[in-house]
A = this chain, B = another copy of it.
Amino acid sequence: MNTLIDFDIPSRLDIVEAAERIRPYIHHTPVLQCEQFNDLFQANILFKCENFQKAGAFKSRGAVNAVFSLTQDEIDRGVCTHSSGNHAQAMARAAALRKCKAYIVMPETSPKVKVNAVKHYGGMITFCKPTLEARERTLQEIRQKTGAIEIHPYNNLKIITAQASAARELFLEYNDLDMILTPVGGGGLLSGTALAAKYFSSHTKVIACEPAGADDAYRSFHDQKFYPSLNPKTIADGLLTSLGSYTFPLILEYVDTIVKVQEDSIIHAMKLIWERMKIIVEPSAAVTLAAILEKQIDTKGMKIALILSGGNVDLNKLPWS
């Protein structure tokens, strides 16, 4: 056990309880296969389609769990977060379900489609300059003014235990997976997946994939030393963030390895999924197939699950056009 774990590790029961709590409000997403990919990689590849999840990404699991774990007093104060992406939509939706105010700080450069989605769910947006510093300062002002409860997008055990539910669904349906692959950004999905593998699978390896242009988790894992994400450059806009004080220790302890992939592989993988599977995934969701395309992982004869983390894409601005 690494010494960074100075908190209670979420238990098997915590994950089961989170899954039960969110069940009425999220999709049990389908698992798809594509014969062409199986042939191409001589493997049995399962795609867990969180792009079909409510609000278009796995983030709905964590957001619902965090919001529905609050007391009525806390709910009366509202919730707040800063996010330019899927967590913002997921939080706005979860808050609406619990009839609670959601204050969302978004950088003024956020894509219109994401801003509209937050508005669609009734989230109250405050725009700020597109820097981490401005986002945090604006959020703090809102917190002070409203007393709203902050829900961090990933460094929060309620979030992590709920993100684990996606992998748990997989393990309950397939008890013979050799590997499970997820993207890694802040590490909420990855640490949750690793916990699910620990509790609900016998021998499944947990492998994370990260863009080379935002490889802070890769370096942190292999050097066993935390590096923040500084000036990340990748099309995978969901994977720009640093690991957190919960996610990094859990990843160090329970993840088998992290690999990194090139930008052109991410775009190629994303386009392949669109073309062959006829489903829409965002760049962040394509890093796992990119790792297989790059032969970063030996797939031959293996049964492998890939978590397609989300499908929120600006259709007017595709990476190959």
Contact B56–A274 (Cβ < 8 Å):
no
Shortest Cβ distance from residue A57 to the other chain B in the assembled complex, whole angstroms: 10
CA distance A321 to B319 in the complex (A): 12
A51 at the interface (CB under 8 A from B): yes
A311 at the interface (CB under 8 A from B): yes
Residue in chain B with minimal CB distance to A51? B278
Shortest Cβ distance from residue A321 to the other chain B in the assembled complex, whole angstroms: 6
Residue in chain B with minimal CB distance to A308? B278
Contact A320–B315 (Cβ < 8 Å):
yes
**Tally of this chain's copies:** 2
Partner of A280 from B52, B56, B279, B321 at Cβ < 8 Å: B279
In the complex, which residues of chain B have a beta carbon less than 8 angstroms from the beta carbon of A281?
278
Which A14-47 residues have a C-beta within 8 angstroms of B?
Answer: 30
Residue in chain B with minimal CB distance to A36? B120
Contact B318–A315 (Cβ < 8 Å):
yes
Shortest Cβ distance from residue A277 to the other chain B in the assembled complex, whole angstroms: 8
Q: What 0/1 readout, one digit per residue, does chain A (292-321) give for beta carbons within 8 Å of chain B?
A: 000000000000000000010001101011
A73 at the interface (CB under 8 A from B): no
Contact A52–B278 (Cβ < 8 Å):
yes
In the complex, which residues of chain B have a beta carbon less than 8 angstroms from the beta carbon of A56?
278
Shortest Cβ distance from residue A110 to the other chain B in the assembled complex, whole angstroms: 16
Shortest Cβ distance from residue A36 to the other chain B in the assembled complex, whole angstroms: 9
Contact A311–B278 (Cβ < 8 Å):
yes
Contact A278–B279 (Cβ < 8 Å):
yes
Residue in chain B with minimal CB distance to A317? B321
A275 at the interface (CB under 8 A from B): yes
Which A111-167 residues have a C-beta within 8 angstroms of B?
Answer: 113
A271 at the interface (CB under 8 A from B): yes
Contact B274–A315 (Cβ < 8 Å):
yes
Contact A275–B315 (Cβ < 8 Å):
yes
Most buried by B among A30, A52, A320: A52
CA distance A274 to B316 in the complex (A): 12
In the complex, which residues of chain B have a beta carbon less than 8 angstroms from the beta carbon of A316?
320-321
CA distance A280 to B30 in the complex (A): 16
In the complex, which residues of chain B have a beta carbon less than 8 angstroms from the beta carbon of A278?
51-52, 56, 279-281, 311
Most buried by B among A113, A278, A311, A315: A278
Q: What 0/1 readout, one digit per residue, does chain A (259-288) give for beta carbons within 8 Å of chain B?
A: 000000000000100110011110000000
- A-B contacts, 8 of them at CB < 8 A, read A30-B30, A52-B278, A271-B315, A274-B280, A274-B315, A275-B315, A278-B280, A280-B280
| New contact pairs (5) apart from A52-B278, A278-B311, CB-CB < 8 Å | A274-B280, A274-B315, A279-B279, A279-B280, A280-B280
